[in-house]
């Protein structure tokens, strides 16, 4: 017996709508079908700003560039920090996009930072690790990471590469300082909670669409959201479900199959 139709959707992008620069099958059809349902695109990736992600979606012909529909872990981190401490000072270790989001709410200050923020992308080196651990151990700054992924998939010069994820990059700080970071991205609750807050929907009436059982689906399930796994990303059609995780409400090969399944159960919805 399926639950009530959702009032809103949170949608992961990489592995759901596209891979690198390649649009996945049925992504456009899916976005057209759900156009009237309130939704946000959610990503653990803090490297690009919301405006850059919106431009990428438009360039791919997926939807018009509307950055208000994008929630990156970098944005969510900046908002969370502002909530903890208005006018916060930060030391960022990560890509330019992270700094761009943080600087909208706080001030970069490598001498007196309240927070050491570690995100994905270029930034970690001996000097930045040293600055960060001194801020934490001597000044009492808090360690925050944008996302806990161990690794991420990327296309570099046309080749598939596995890059270190946010979890791998924050680990040296945790080891040196003997502390755990506050983590914003999936499967931790903060990114989903900000998304649902922005859409004005409760977890029970919100559905997460994603490609990763351990992050997208696991975190959403723990919050009581409905979940849909599409097997077009990291998790392939022939893989068996990880036994330690709760199964998603929907487990499909692609977005077309998901639309068909939803229309069968909720014929009035989309």
Residue (15 or 132) nearer to Mg ion, CB: 15
User: Binding of Mg ion at residue 149 (CB under 5 A)?
Assistant: no
Counting Cα atoms < 13 Å in the Cβ hemisphere of 111 gives: 0
Q: Shortest distance, CB of residue 215 to Mg ion, whole angstroms?
A: 8
Q: Burial letters for 185-212: b for 16+ Cβ neighbours within 10 Å, e otherwise?
A: bbbbbbbbebbbebbebebebbbbbbbb
- Total Cβ atoms within 10 A of residue 140: 8
Residue with tokens 């099958």: 25
Per-residue contact string for residues 194-213; x = within reach of Mg ion by CB under 5 A: -----------------x--
Per-residue contact string for residues 229-248; x = within reach of Mg ion by CB under 5 A: ----x---------------
Q: Shortest distance, CB of residue 84 to Mg ion, whole angstroms?
A: 27
Pairing relationship of beta strands 89-93 and 22-23 according to DSSP bridges:
unpaired
Residue (216 or 249) nearer to Mg ion, CB: 216
Residue (12 or 120) nearer to Mg ion, CB: 12
Residue in 80, 163, 68, 70 with CA at minimum distance from that of residue 117: 80
- Beta-carbon contacts of residue 230 (< 8 Å; ≥ 6 apart): 15, 16, 209, 210, 211, 252, 253, 254, 255, 258
Name which position in 6, 8, 10, 12 contacts Mg ion (CB under 5 A). 12
| 58 DSSP assignment | H
Q: How many residues bind Mg ion (CB under 5 A)?
A: 5
Residue (103 or 150) nearer to Mg ion, CB: 150
For residue 91 the two structure tokens come to 């030391």
User: Binding of Mg ion at residue 15 (CB under 5 A)?
Assistant: yes
User: Binding of Mg ion at residue 14 (CB under 5 A)?
Assistant: yes
Residue (15 or 148) nearer to Mg ion, CB: 15
Q: Closest-CB residue for Mg ion? A: 15
Residues that bind Mg ion (CB under 5 A): 12, 14-15, 211, 233
């Amino acid at each position: 017996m399926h639950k009530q139709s959702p009032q809103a959707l949170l949608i992961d992008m990489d592995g759901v709508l596209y891979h690198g620069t390649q649009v996945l099958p049925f992504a456009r059809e899916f976005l057209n079908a759900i156009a009237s349902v309130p939704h946000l695109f959610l990503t653990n990736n803090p490297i690009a700003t919301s405006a850059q992600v919106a431009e990428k979606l438009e360039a791919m012909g997926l939807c018009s560039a509307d950055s208000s529909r994008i929630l990156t872990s970098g944005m969510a981190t900046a908002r969370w920090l502002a909530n903890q401490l208005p006018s916060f000072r930060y030391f960022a270790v990560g890509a330019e996009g992270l700094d761009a989001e943080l600087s909208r709410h706080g001030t970069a200050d490598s001498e007196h930072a309240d927070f050491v923020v570690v995100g994905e992308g270029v930034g970690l080196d001996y000097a930045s690790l040293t600055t960060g651990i001194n801020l934490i151990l001597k000044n009492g700054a808090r360690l925050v990471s944008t996302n806990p992924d161990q690794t991420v998939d990327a296309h570099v010069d046309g080749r598939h590469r596995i890059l270190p994820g946010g979890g791998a990059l924050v680990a040296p700080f945790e080891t040196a300082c003997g502390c755990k970071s506050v983590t914003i991205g999936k499967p931790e609750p903060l990114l989903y909670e900000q998304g649902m807050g922005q859409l004005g929907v409760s977890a029970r009436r919100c559905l997460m669409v994603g490609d990763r059982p351990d992050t997208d689906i696991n975190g959403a399930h723990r919050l009581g959201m409905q979940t849909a796994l599409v097997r077009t990303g990291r998790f392939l059609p022939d893989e068996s479900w990880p036994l330690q995780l709760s199964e998603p409400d929907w487990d499909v090969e692609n977005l077309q199959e998901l639309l068909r399944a939803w229309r069968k159960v909720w014929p009035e919805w989309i």
